[in-house]
Copies of this chain bind each other. A is one copy, B any other.
């Protein structure tokens, strides 16, 4: 799908850079740096895949120690996964070289990778890039960084939010990458968000988890989870606001802004999904529990049959009710209402009669599709976001050979 050209942004006290160090065969940017000019706290969530890239093992461990942190270094073009102990060595060498160049402790650097699995990094390629990376680092470097973390993405992904907390002007800026899937053996969803807000680690981690649940954890392109998925938020406190406390009005404000920005980035990933021609929202309401709502939304959003029907612009409620039925959640089929872009398709145990199939087809031709499912069985709701399933998905993933 067409996505708007990303806006560059700046976050007070943060710099960034993206350069080509030689990992990508086409000479594209493949090494990114995000730097806080002062020590920052960082929160993170990582892939639940049991096969982990070295960078995920290192950064997950580091984040748990609560920082402070100064930098995140990210390479694309190589996932640095499934190649034994060499992966960890290469991470440490890169961190060591970068720490020297920046004159900061190694412990203050986080790391992430994305790209092909099972291929050792070419020796020295990353470390040789470090001097240029540091030299180019500037307040205006986030677009370059967003470009340098891309693999099969068609466009770089950025988002920014600004709001006030008391007298302080808060800025949150973020970059992300992902075609929502692992391409060839290419991995990964990555998201890096920076803010000048003052907030401690446990509070930031809590806000991040909330934002992540509603954004990156609510999108699916093909149900795959990579070895490298990483989402990190850094906060350097330079806004000078009163520290954000859990449960406060300020916390709610900050988390709402972070969630909105994270959803913006996540939606960009779905729209850039391999072969995607439509953006699909699956909204489940009237569920007994939030978990039930999410399970059903997820079942519908990952159904190959539902997704091919949407590609075919077919208002196929039969596939939707079937996916609801096998979600593993107790339901009352006779109470379910299914609406597609506002048109009721199924209600009171019966398909809805439509005077004109033509108007239904016109609704299906829109680039955004809302599948609204009301279970009429409770008060909880959840949404999942996905794309349709097209020939191009198969082409992209079948024609590539290792």
Contacts and interface: CB of A to CB of B under 8 A. Distances in A.
Contact of A227 (B181, B227, B309, B322): B322
A314 B400 contact: yes
A312 B401 contact: yes
A51 B312 contact: no
Contacts of A163: none
B48 A315 contact: no
Interface string A373-402: 000000000000000011101110111111
Interface string A339-379: 00000001011110000000001000000000000000000
B82 A316 contact: no
Nearest to A334: B84
A181 B225 CA distance: 24
A222 B222 CA distance: 12
A340 to B, nearest CB: 12
Interface stretch (A252-260, A261-269, A324-332): A324-332
Contacts of A143: none
Contacts of A400: 312, 314
B390 A393 contact: no
A101 interface: no
Copies in the complex: 2
B326 A50 contact: yes
Interface stretch (A134-142, A210-218, A300-308): A300-308
A107 interface: no
A304 to B, nearest CB: 5
A362 to B, nearest CB: 13
A50 B315 CA distance: 22
Interface size class of A (residues with CB under 8 A): 35 or more
A116 interface: yes
A251 to B, nearest CB: 32
Q: Which of A49, A318, A402 has the most CB of B within 10 A?
A: A318
A303 B224 contact: yes
A312 B50 contact: no
Nearest to A398: B312
A117 B49 contact: no
A391 B395 contact: yes
Contact of A333 (B50, B311, B401): B50
B326 A82 contact: no
A394 to B, nearest CB: 5
A129 to B, nearest CB: 25
B116 A318 contact: yes
B50 A325 contact: yes
Given A318-B82, A324-B51, A305 B181 contact: yes
Nearest to A223: B304
21 contacts: A48-B326, A49-B322, A50-B331, A51-B322, A51-B324, A51-B325, A51-B331, A51-B333, A118-B346, A182-B318, A184-B316, A185-B318, A223-B303, A225-B326, A226-B322, A304-B393, A309-B398, A312-B399, A312-B400, A389-B394, A390-B394
Given A119-B351, A311-B394, A361-B401, 8 more contacts: A51-B331, A82-B318, A82-B333, A82-B351, A182-B322, A225-B326, A226-B322, A313-B401
Interface of A: 48-52, 82-85, 116-119, 181-182, 184-185, 187, 222-227, 303-305, 308-309, 311-319, 321-327, 329-331, 333-334, 346, 348-351, 361, 389-391, 393-395, 397-402
